[in-house]
Structure formats: structure tokens, C-alpha cells
Structure 1
Amino acid sequence: MDTEAVRSFVRAAELGQLQHAADELGVTQQAVSKRIATLERQLGVQLFTRTARGVELTLDGQAFLPHARGIVTGADRAVTAVTPGSRALRVDVLGFRSAQAVVLHDYWRSHPGVHLDVVTLKANDPRTVVTAIQAGDVDASFRTVTDPAALPPGVRMIHAFDSPLELLVGPRHPLASARTLTPAQLRGHRIWVPGIAPRSEWAEFYDQLVTAFDLCLDGAGPHFGDEVLLDTLAESADVATFVGARDRYVWPASYDLRRIPIVDPVLVYPLSLLLPEHAHPGLRPIINHLRNLPPLTAKAWRPSWASPAT
């Protein structure tokens, strides 16, 4: 469907005259008339009746008008979403159920007028994300370059917030009844984290975690999605996985999965925000929101590139 024809119909309906619609749209009356005639042929109905004073909507025209307005509004928003200088603030997160997305949603709920696009770059290598920031494809990304010295000029990284890990297990797992767990209690248990991508920040995180606490981390096999992972945990008596405390997972009640906090020390995944040196002004209130999140006060372990002050 030709959106310009729909736009011509909407303006003619609202103004009552084809000439007025043409003047506003910057085309001839004949062009508006042809667009509407083509639209009527496509729909198989008559949208207007012509009168001495202009045009009036038929019953079909009245039924079509609110939907036509929605088409025009959607088209305008689509153009705005990709127009440099006018599109919404665009922030990359690892996934829409991740702690990053949850925190951004909390921010948006308290600032509902903010124009915010939350996207997910299909990239595991943070250098790819840095390139997207340099190109202006995204305004910020919740990713970490584990060697800050490798950041190119014009891109900076700030600490966003800490994400404590929890152990997620099924009801038959030997640790399922625990209220909390220490890292020492995890030794010898299979912790399945499928699809760990080489060169990714989380690959380095888990390498350091395994070394620090002598854990049995199994990264074998492709990651077929959260649903398959949750199915496996529900059926297994020996498989567990790590999830972030703010990560949002949903499973059937019959699965009876358990999220168990890890303490003494808390295992922290530090989340960072990559952004250009001259950042979008809409990022400032988001950064303030991140800084106002409740701090983690318990004894914690973090990977080598992070500290509470980063």
C-alpha cells in the first residue's frame, strides 16, 4: 500500500478539500486525486463523495480513516527512527531479558516520555560494537572491553552496575534446597553455560571465575535458546547454570526451578557502558539512573579488569 496515497487521503479527509491537501503536501490537486483514486481501486471501495464544497467521507472512508492515520504515523516514526539527528536514543543490550534491559525498562517506566530504542547487536566481539558506536549506529552499548587501553580515541567506557550471579537449578539437583551457596559449595557440580563465544567479555569472565574458585564450567554445545536451557535444568538432577540476579527468566510452574544467591563472596559480573566521547544528551539521565542503583555492600569477587570504583 502506497503510504503517500494514504497520507493524501488522511489530509483530504481532515481538510475537506483536495486542493488544500495538495497545497499542504506540496503536490498538485491532480496528483492527490490520482493517489486517492488508486487507493480506492486497491481497496475496492469508494472513500469520498464529491460535493460543491469539497469532499466528504463515505461510510467506508469513515471506517478506514483511523487505520489510515495509524499507517501514516507508523511510517513517520519509521523514518524518524533511522534519520540522523532526529532518531530516538538507541542503546544496545545483550538480550531483552538481560539485567541491562531490565534496568533500562525501569528507567523508561519512570520517564515514559523518553524516546528510546533498545536494540541487540548480533556481535560477540566488543570491537565490533565499538565500531558501531564510532559509526553512530548506536549511541551506547552495555558491553565491556576488558582491556580499556584498547579503546580507540573518541570512545569511552564507564562502569554501569554490578550484576551478582545466582545458581539456577531444577528441583532434583542436590543443591536445590539451599537458601544460599558459597563458591566452595559449587565445586564438583556441573555448571552448564552453553555457547560461550571466543573473544567475548563473558568468555574471559568465566575463565577467571573458574581459575579463582576451581569450578567445573561446561561451555560445550551450541546455545539453542533460554527455553531449551530451562527445559534441561527442569529435567536434570545434576546440571545447573549461572544467571544474573536481575536477569528475567520465565518458566512453567511445573518446572519448579530455584534461583539461589551466591555469597561469601558474591560473584559479580561487572557491566559497563560504552559510549562516544561526545555522547547523546539523552544518555546523561540514564547514567544518573545507573549511579543511583543500590550499591553492592557485601564481600564480592570481581574479574581483574573491574573494581567497585570503575
Structure 2
Amino acid sequence: MASSKDRQRKLARAKYDRQQARRAERERRRRRISAGVGATLAVILIVVGGAWIGGAFDSDEPADTTAADVCLWTPQNAQTNPNLKEVGTPPTKDLPQEGTETMTVTTDKGEPIVVSLDVASAPCAAASLTHLAGRAFFDNTECHELTTEGALRCGDPSGTGQGGPTYSFYDENLPVLPEPAPSASAAPAAEVVYPKGTVALIGNPKGSNGSQFLIFHKDFTPTDEPQYSIIGQVTGGLDTLAAIAKIPTVDDSAGNKVKPKDKITIKTLTIGAAAIAAPSASAQS
């Protein structure tokens, strides 16, 4: 029979073995946890590193995806100029900037004058004319001048040369004078800046365009820097324009002999799809 000391030693040994077993199990558990944490950290580092390479942590402001302004419209004060007419303003964004558009000017003098508007070269002028035409701004207004430069001047409902909408806009497609010939004796025919049939804006003051436009019935080249933005070309109704050019002129209120003796009235001015129906209006005259 085992002595008490042997039993005590066996019990102590068993206790020691149990302690060691528990320590070993804890160590295995710790290693498993450490391995899992390490793998998770590795995945996180890979994801974060990819995001960093992709620029996710760049300090730049987010890209502005809003549409940029195509045109800017400068307000004009109708209180200081009572000849101005309030018709709102065209949009500033998402405006056509390519191709051409058709403008049809139906007068009381014959077949309509058809103009190809150069939208690509003068998008703001095209946008402004379209806006005004859509509000019948030009309908039943007079072309109040046959200028000394050889153009019919229209687009001012007041007939004073001071009228227009309550906004203005900058020059577009402003031509330049041709270079002088190196030798007068060998000089070719001078290049015309505003050929017959050219349609251009006339600003008051220069560079401040509104609604007034010129239709040249003969070639014109200024001696100074050109100041009329070209916006299009007449493609139909040149006979009407030629007949209008023969109307005699009398002095206007400023004493300039530019006022047509016979009133010239724009019955309608339409742009785009609305222009298709415009030629039938001439049959009513």
C-alpha cells in the first residue's frame, strides 16, 4: 500500500501535468488568434495600399462635373435707357456650338430673306437671336437704317438705334483687316471684309451686342479695325435685299441721310424649325 508521501507526489505530478496542458492549450489558442489577426491586417494593408495608389487619399477637391457656361449675358438698365425691352435672358449652359441654323426674315418687301447662322463661330449670337425670336422680339418692327456702309440695319424695336434687350454680350467672329500688299503696282484685288450678303451684329457701344444686326447689300471693307461680328450669310432672298437697297433715304433725327423713305417692316423673324413655315407669310403681303 502506497504511503501518503507517494500519493502526495502523484497528486502533485498530476496537478503539474494539468497546468502544463492548460498552458499549452492557451499558447495554441494565442497563436491561432495571432495568425488570424495577422492575415486580417495583411488584407487591410493590401486594400489600403491599392486605394492609396488609386488616389483615394489625394487631398484634391472632387472634380466639378457641372456644365461650364458657354455664354455670359451682361445686364443692361432699362431705367437709364427706356429704349430697352425686358424679355429675360437666354440660358448660359448647354448651348449649341456646332453647325449652322436657319434664320428667316419675312419683310413687307418681297420674298423672305433667309440667313445661314454660323453657330460654330458665333454660338452666343445664335443663342441670343433664337431667344429673342422665340419671344417675337423682332416681329412687326422696322429696319430703321440703310447705312452709308451699304447695309440694312434691323433689330431695334424702338427704331432709334439705342434699343435692344436688357442684356448684352461680347463680340464673336470679329474679322480682321487683310494684310496690305507689299507693292501697290503688283497688288491683287483687295480682300473684302464684309462681302455682299454678310449678316453681322452692330453693338452700341462697340463690343456690346444686343439685338441689332446688319445685312450687307454690297461689299464693304472698313478703313479702320472691323467692329461688326459676323454671324451668318444670306442664302436666299438676295433679290428682296437688292430691292430694299434701292429705296431712297432721308435725314434721320440726327441729320444723317440713312432713314428709308419707304418704311421697311419685319413681319416675322424665325429661327430653326419655326422658320420652315415662314415663307408662306410672304404670300399674305
* TM-score normalized with structure 1 length: 0.23
Report the structure number with the largest CA radius of gyration: 2
* TM-score normalized with structure 2 length: 0.24
